[in-house]
Structure 1
Amino acid sequence: MGTFTLEPKTEHGVSRSEVLKQFRYFLKVFRDADLLESQGPKDQAQALKVLYRWGAMETGALANAARRHPDRLGLVDDEGELTFAEFWEASCRLALGLQARGIKGGSHVAVLARNGRPSILPLTCRHLLGFHIFMVNANSSARQIERLLEFHKIDCFIIDEEFLDKLTERGAQRKIILGYTENEHPEYETLNNVIDSAKVTDELPFRPPRGKHVVMTSGTSGDPKGVIRRTVSSPQGLASVLSGVPWEQGLVVMLTAVLFHAFGWSNLMMALQTSSTTVARRIFDPAQALEDIQRYKINAMATAASRIRAMHSYFTEHGVTHVPGMKFIVSAGSPLTKYEVQHTNELFGEVLCNFYGSTETACLAAARPEQLAADPTLTGEVYPGEVIEIRDDDGNLVPEGEIGRIWAGCYDMFVGYTDADIEIPTINGLINMGDRGYLSDGGRMLHVLGRADDLVITQFGEKIFPGELEDSLMRMDGVADVYAHGVTDPAFGQALRVYIIPKEGQRPSEDEVKEFVKTRLSDAHVPREVFFVDDFPRNPMGKVMKRYLPEKSTI
């Protein structure tokens, strides 16, 4: 890795006119959404004091929620339940405990933890001290973590017990605090130890510096990149979120999107801003999800396509045909298939939204439930202030409706990378999203077809995205789950391979699968190979990790 920085000099972004256009749009959307909770002039004055001291991010949002709704359930995780008052107290005590251990404004704190208190409390207390937080991707290897900790000059590392085998001797040469743990490790303090030992008579700084929030990428092609999220002076980037997702005060939100990704973090932020209860389990399990929905009367969900698909299979197997009470389900991370959209709306009602963005950007496009139900191929509407262009492989703009690479930008996109030597290619200030898609309806509607390198050109010369096969095969009897991708072919350059998890006792044959695809789609879509497996190797977000798939059937 190269030169460490938290103040990179970059040239990406959108024009001032786009920023002003979005700000005006945000004022209208925020007014119409009626999200500004106020209990009178005294409450407004107190809220402004909180914002002045800790800002409008996690810390300030939680402080106001705890002040207004101390007895409302604030957080549910694998360690139990916290009211908003208890949630706020735990955050304050963690800050006091960290301060007693030398953490202060400008310190570097890394977190490698699944959803729950070990990932949430460091986020909600970071502005109490002003430390910089580095959220580590759970896919990172031991070598990557060692280099990451050294390069980013980490002072304190909060890590769940299950990841201890990734902690090398060099990596452990800093303050280590265990997050979630089920066993005794006397050589390490735990997060609960730090909280319980805090001296409440100590004082926290009145107005600490605003620490940076760094999201680490998975590093599948090398060392993880540190994406520095922008500390914005205006919340206007929420305009597209509020336009596409019907957030309101006092929801009960199931957060299955992981918190070391920007999407999970942004939905935690929205839950805190709306004084909504957050239900965040460490491991996604559809049986636990159904139990939580019923027990806590969950009425909103932030999730991913893979989680949705897992719920479909489990609910179908257990005779669940309808789950009432949901106000919205917002998905991101990978394109939804038509089948997933339709089946989700059958189970929960017309509530499914889609969110498109990346760690480097923010929400670039969002599809409201009625839009997605009417057109399941829609990724989202591009709202004022979000700029998306479709270009060919040479960087030239393509006509509306033509498929190309997606370039995008917005006001609250990332500052840059923590490695100042990483180049960020731009065109007109926009960055390459790594996806292919097209625009419609005068450039207002975005359709994402898949990752740019997912495109497969078969022996028929047809350009095919694997998602087309997945959508079709999910409708086939005997198929519980499916994953498709392109492979090299010695005769034709590229071909398609399909992996299927069959339903118990209903496995179709390879020939039946190929005939189904041929009949439903075309000869060009027929996979060269069909493999049957018990399960897919997935990352913590639930995405299939292609490189770990077997080269043959395993069942």
Structure 2
Amino acid sequence: MTQYTMNTRVPRAIPRSEISRQLWFFLRKVLQRKLISFDGPRSIKADLANIRRWGGLEATIMARGARQVPDRVALVDDDGELTYFEFFRQADRLARAFHQRGYHSGANVGVLALNGRAAILPLTARQMAGYNIFMINANASATQIEQYLDFHDIKVLIVDEEFLPRITPTARQREIILGHLEPEPVETGPYQGRIFESLQQVIDTADPQEKLPRKPHKSMHVVMTSGTTGLPKGVVRRQVPTPQGFASVVAAMPLERNMDVLLTAVLFHAYGWAYMGFSFLTQSRVITRRHFSPEQVLKDFRDYDVTMWVSAATRIRNVISHMNNHGIQRHDGLKLITNSGSPLLPVEIEQSAEKFGPVLCSMYGSSETSALAAAGAQELVDDPQLTGKIYPGAQIKIVDDAGNELPDGQEGTILVSCFDLFNGYTDPRFEADMINGYYYMGDRGYRIGNCLYVQGRDDDLVITQFAEKVYPIEIEDELLRDDRISDAHVRGVGDPLTGQALQAFVSTKHPISPDEIRQRIKGQLSDAHVPRDIIFVEELERGPTGKVIRTALPEPDEKNQQAPLPSSVQSS
């Protein structure tokens, strides 16, 4: 059987001088914005000692909060509130309990939990005890979960109780600990109690005399990709001494200390995890819920005077749609909305500005990288096509099909390197796509100076019968400008006559015919952008980052309004 690996197999092309430049750039921006407070030499000495012991991420950040602002609320979730002192104490006890049970020195711990303490506490305790953590995608199937646990020799699984039916008998051949508990047990034991102990029970029974290592094993953070079939990839995040990979976000966005942050981006992806960590670094209050709903988002905005909302494009769109449907014209108070995971459409930037003011910002990156480029709110308003500006520590090249670097303004394939580029995939059969030492992002775009413009995925590019390049995102943007359409997805498919054709999946609020859709696209864009198929769906199934789950899309048939291309297009 193939053995997993945590070894570094992806080299960084970025020179040390650029890493140092990024660190100083990051520190300068942090100090200018007064994002971090320093309490004098003793405090700095304690920070440095913790960085040497645990690294520069969650454990050190939360220890700092517990020391400096012990009574400030750190976390609000579905299970209540925790101050910085309470949070660090619980993470410390969890680390001691796991160390006592043998989960240390490179042991593997899996977490299948939605946003809340069941995910965040194990992420923090891992650095104290020295175990590796595997964050499992909540959309994974029972078979995928079973295979993933077995392949990675995961010794203990922390799982939200609602997911127990997905944990097969084979997957249960390890210690199971319940994260978030349901109001009533999903499964009961012989005494009508819960079959497995809860995470809180583990914390409460920790032996305070258990010694944690002075220099724990270097803990690895593994993110599970969103593959819909087969064994998903495990992305090994590189352990870093500082959060300097966040430099572009700090430079582009109006971050502050003591923010009230609503986190609706999921924690089992790198985007939500990164913003969570930086929110705690600024000693802010993080509000997060296990399940997303527009009603709850708006309630949390009001109840907690939220100033920053960390989300994804599809969830921003859902909240705006809810506001429109309920006659809510505007919500003021937000200073910042962040987006990542799926690109923003120009229409979404416009609608967000109408509802919340010009506060929507964007970040470009992936599970394998850090924040590679970021755009501030006014930058997006001024240039809605902009993906982000490139700052120190991220190196981005645009190359042609032969790997030759292209000049400014010419479209090609995006290659990157950065300070915290991932180590590699846990399955050695998967090699990272590298070209001349740079990681292949799978996207196409161009740059002008330090401005990056991402036009779409490499495999989204459609060459129409006009030999014209068309990116689905521009058609989706136009479709969503029609008040009758609530959601849309466009893709390229094979065509026996033209080689490739366009297929549009449309969810509607009010009646609209395929011909009306085609005429709108033709009039606003061009003949080359007109979809061959218009397929009406009740709802587009999307993953937590907003990407459409393509395997859930229906095939065109007479019922969902497949239609041939207009005759003028066929004869061209």
TM-score interval w.r.t. the shorter chain?
over 0.9
* 1:460 correspondence with 2:442: no
Answer yes or no: is the 8 Å Cα contact 2:340–2:545 preserved in 1. no
Q: CA deviation at 1:201?
A: 4.9
Q: Deviations over 1:309-332 (max 9, x none)?
A: 111111111122221111111110
Q: CA deviation at 1:20?
A: 3.3
> AA paired with 2:551?
R
> AA paired with 1:460?
F
> AA paired with 2:17?
S
Unpaired runs of at least 5, structure 1: none
1:294 & 1:221 partners in 2: Cα distance?
A: 40
Structure 1 match to 2:78:
78
Structure 2 match to 1:394:
402
1:281 & 1:102 partners in 2: Cα distance?
A: 31
Structure 2 match to 1:123:
123
2:293 & 2:373 partners in 1: Cα distance?
A: 29
SS in 2 for 1:189: coil
Q: CA deviation at 1:234?
A: 4.0
Structure 1 match to 2:381:
373
- Of the three residues 273, 292, 305, the one matched with 1:284 is 292
Q: CA deviation at 1:263?
A: 0.7
Unpaired runs of at least 5, structure 2: 188-193, 562-572
User: How many residue pairs align between the two structures?
Assistant: 551
1:243 & 1:373 partners in 2: Cα distance?
A: 17
5 Å matches for 1:296-335? 296-335=304-343
Answer yes or no: is the 8 Å Cα contact 1:138–1:540 preserved in 2. no
Q: Which stretch has the larger CA shift, 390-399 or 18-27?
A: 18-27
Do the aligned partners of residues 458 and 540 (structure 1) sit closer, same or farther apart at CA in structure 2, a change above 3 Å counting?
same
2:38 & 2:25 partners in 1: Cα distance?
A: 22
Q: CA deviation at 1:304?
A: 1.0
Q: Deviations over 1:33-74 (max 9, x none)?
A: 322212344443444444344332111111211222222221
- Of the three residues 454, 458, 478, the one matched with 1:472 is 478
> AA paired with 2:253?
V
Q: CA deviation at 1:417?
A: 1.9
1:92 & 1:54 partners in 2: Cα distance?
A: 12
* 1:545 correspondence with 2:549: yes
Structure 2 match to 1:59:
59
1:46 & 1:319 partners in 2: Cα distance?
A: 52
1:518 & 1:139 partners in 2: Cα distance?
A: 37
- Of the three residues 192, 201, 211, the one matched with 1:193 is 201
Q: CA deviation at 1:349?
A: 1.5
- Of the three residues 269, 279, 282, the one matched with 1:274 is 282
Answer yes or no: is the 8 Å Cα contact 1:8–1:420 preserved in 2. no
Answer yes or no: is the 8 Å Cα contact 2:22–2:247 preserved in 1. yes
* 1:532 correspondence with 2:536: yes
> AA paired with 1:371?
E
2:353 & 2:89 partners in 1: Cα distance?
A: 39
Q: CA deviation at 1:419?
A: 2.4
* 1:138 correspondence with 2:138: yes
* 1:422 correspondence with 2:426: no
Q: CA deviation at 1:461?
A: 2.2
TM-score, structure 1 as length reference: 0.94
2:560 & 2:305 partners in 1: Cα distance?
A: 40
> AA paired with 1:163?
F
5 Å matches for 1:462-541? 462-503=468-509, 506-541=510-545
Q: CA deviation at 1:148?
A: 1.6
- Of the three residues 325, 335, 354, the one matched with 1:346 is 354
5 Å matches for 1:139-178? 139-178=139-178
> AA paired with 1:241?
V
Identity in percent:
46
2:229 & 2:447 partners in 1: Cα distance?
A: 29
2:371 & 2:360 partners in 1: Cα distance?
A: 16
1:23 & 1:99 partners in 2: Cα distance?
A: 33
Q: Deviations over 1:124-179 (max 9, x none)?
A: 21122111111112232223222221221111111122332332222211111122
Answer yes or no: is the 8 Å Cα contact 2:55–2:241 preserved in 1. no
1:249 & 1:353 partners in 2: Cα distance?
A: 18
2:264 & 2:235 partners in 1: Cα distance?
A: 22
Structure 2 match to 1:382:
390
2:412 & 2:230 partners in 1: Cα distance?
A: 26
Q: Deviations over 1:526-545 (max 9, x none)?
A: 11122222211122333210
Q: CA deviation at 1:195?
A: 2.3
Answer yes or no: is the 8 Å Cα contact 1:334–1:450 preserved in 2. no
> AA paired with 1:483?
H
5 Å matches for 1:24-39? 24-39=24-39
2:74 & 2:164 partners in 1: Cα distance?
A: 29
Q: CA deviation at 1:10?
A: 3.5
Q: Deviations over 1:494-526 (max 9, x none)?
A: 2222222222xx221222111111111111111
Q: Which stretch has the larger CA shift, 195-204 or 66-75?
A: 195-204
1:44 & 1:347 partners in 2: Cα distance?
A: 42
1:267 & 1:116 partners in 2: Cα distance?
A: 14
Q: CA deviation at 1:265?
A: 0.8
Q: CA deviation at 1:222?
A: 3.7
1:528 & 1:294 partners in 2: Cα distance?
A: 45
